Structure 1
């Protein structure tokens, strides 16, 4: 690789551009360490090498924090276009030879393993056997991060509930889960009789937020009374808040069953106060996800549809 960039890109250039793109995406060297699997000093050395190669200062770093320069913004935009073109080229080659190779990036919500032997597990296995030259990269994260990973291109596909409604995403429903309102044994309502658990009584308590897509037959009425005053990004985080005794929150009943059996949790008005969450497979609407992601998505949708011919109800298994 020559010292000064003259319009010819080599493998090393592409590697450095990918490092720079990740740093820009994450907002700094430290934030990019986990994603890149490299130390801050190694990442900084790569970005410095790219700056030397291009003859440009791409970012400011120091006590004032990390920021892209005007030139850095231009190079980032060009990098995003270049990487998209490379993905498109790979798709065309895959199409021509009828053989998939490349990378599948899948982000799933971090409590989905609760559902054990789900179609997702089987599809991953089938896909890996069918396409041995595809590198499969799976990450788990809170629902909001799954959504963001798809939106900013870090993931070609996401599987999650929706923390908010996003027009930029293409969504296909996969399965639904039922949630009941629970409290921990330390909570003041734990010993209150069911006939006294009115919307007003429950509404006086602090409740962990639910996703924007959650719904239920009496939900509009109950929602007016509930006071959301905590957020939990995962099912485990919600359980911790409930066990603290300070909050009420919604959990799948089978997930909560071990604590219920041990007298550490109780469902409140489960016949009247329950919600349904729908898990979706999501891709970006503006940018086609590519042949690899489209193949996996089609297999996933077909597998869940085959469960019952309609939206199946998944039951947690890991904690039961």
Structure 2
């Protein structure tokens, strides 16, 4: 199949439908009616000679061919966006679509440089469309490698070949239990590590055995890679687990969660920027990368000044 401009248009419509989860949800985003969306999808399926999705009373579902096309289209459209950014840079213009990945539940972290970096970058490059994907660390690594993402920020405990990792900032992690958990009666006491092995742990799969080693446990009872899912398990009263204090604060303030022996059970996640190794980033990508580092340095300097004032 020889690609034409109309094919790129059809693929972008297809990608919007997939991201929205169906034709109806895509209508306000595409600003076209259901009949037009159906017609465009029929054109794309005719061009490719395959069935891409099932739609009807059973809801929207990609076929196996549709799933493969979705993955290929993400790579292709990402490459097109990169080309547009590089072409704009030749005219000394910052424009195009920058695909950026990040983990969820970091908005309330005052140590995160992302809001400041996005604010400054948006003012410096108002014509750039920032497309943010919320993904797990493993997915972000794969998608930076295959070109679906230009860069990403998250905790990456193990580094893989093909990516550059630039340290950005740290996020504190504390051990928590629910007010209904048996451990809650002793949460503010010194708790020996061996005493925790009797409780069920909700751990993060991408950290491997890191949390198990810290607590000297042999296994985790649940593996959850997103913060909200882990918080839900802990709030159930059946599990203990690590959460960022900034995220847990509302439940702590309301008395639903308690932090367990914070002096001894504290750890940190190291957040890094990842980019593909051996590839010269487009000027737009490089600019956003630099804004991230500048924002982290700015916040780090502010925290240091705050600590000095508190010491005096």
Q: TM-score, normalised by structure 2?
A: 0.74
Structure 1 position 279, deviation (Å): 1.4
Structure 2: runs of 5+ lacking an equivalent: 305-312
Could you tell me how far apart the structure 2 residues matched to 1:202 and 1:107 are?
35
Could you tell me how far apart the structure 1 residues matched to 2:190 and 2:111 are?
39
CA offsets, 1:179-231, max 9 Å, x none?
12111111111113766733232112111113645998xx6753442531223
- 2:131 equivalent among 112, 137, 145: 137
Could you tell me how far apart the structure 2 residues matched to 1:34 and 1:151 are?
30
Structure 1 position 135, deviation (Å): 1.7
Task: Please give the secondary structure, in 2, of the residue aligned with 1:191.
Answer: helix
CA offsets, 1:84-121, max 9 Å, x none?
66345424422322111111222322211112584321
Contact 2:194 2:216 in 1 (8 A): no
Could you tell me how far apart the structure 2 residues matched to 1:142 and 1:94 are?
31
**Hey, what does 1:317 align to over in structure 2?**
none
- 1:177 equivalent among 160, 171, 180: 171
**Hey, what does 2:49 align to over in structure 1?**
57
Contact 1:213 1:277 in 2 (8 A): no
CA offsets, 1:56-90, max 9 Å, x none?
41346569971229xx979986x677646634542
Structure 1 position 252, deviation (Å): 2.6
**Hey, what does 1:283 align to over in structure 2?**
275
- 1:269 equivalent among 257, 261, 276: 261
**Hey, what does 1:112 align to over in structure 2?**
106
**Hey, what does 2:224 align to over in structure 1?**
232
Structure 1 position 286, deviation (Å): 6.3
**Hey, what does 1:251 align to over in structure 2?**
243
Structure 1 position 9, deviation (Å): 2.2
Residue range with higher mean Cα deviation, 294-303 or 56-65 = 56-65
Could you tell me how far apart the structure 2 residues matched to 1:228 and 1:161 are?
20
Contact 1:151 1:168 in 2 (8 A): yes
**Would you tell me which structure has more helix in proportion to its own residues?**
2
CA offsets, 1:268-304, max 9 Å, x none?
2322221111112222336555221121012211321
Contact 2:106 2:112 in 1 (8 A): no
Could you tell me how far apart the structure 1 residues matched to 2:184 and 2:196 are?
11
**Hey, what does 1:127 align to over in structure 2?**
121
- 2:201 equivalent among 194, 200, 207: 207
Contact 1:30 1:40 in 2 (8 A): no
**Closer, same or farther: CA 196–270 of 1 in aligned 2, 3 Å:** closer
Structure 1: runs of 5+ lacking an equivalent: 313-320
**Hey, what does 2:288 align to over in structure 1?**
296
Could you tell me how far apart the structure 1 residues matched to 2:131 and 2:16 are?
16
For the aligned residues, what is the CA RMSD?
4.2
Q: Is it true that 1:100 corresponds to 2:108 in the alignment?
A: no
Equivalences, count: 296
- 1:67 equivalent among 48, 64, 73: 64
Contact 1:157 1:289 in 2 (8 A): no
What is the 5 A alignment of 1:190-205?
190-192=184-186, 197-205=191-199
**Closer, same or farther: CA 45–29 of 1 in aligned 2, 3 Å:** farther
**Closer, same or farther: CA 112–146 of 1 in aligned 2, 3 Å:** farther
**Hey, what does 1:241 align to over in structure 2?**
233
**Hey, what does 1:14 align to over in structure 2?**
8
Could you tell me how far apart the structure 1 residues matched to 2:101 and 2:71 are?
23
**Closer, same or farther: CA 139–40 of 1 in aligned 2, 3 Å:** farther
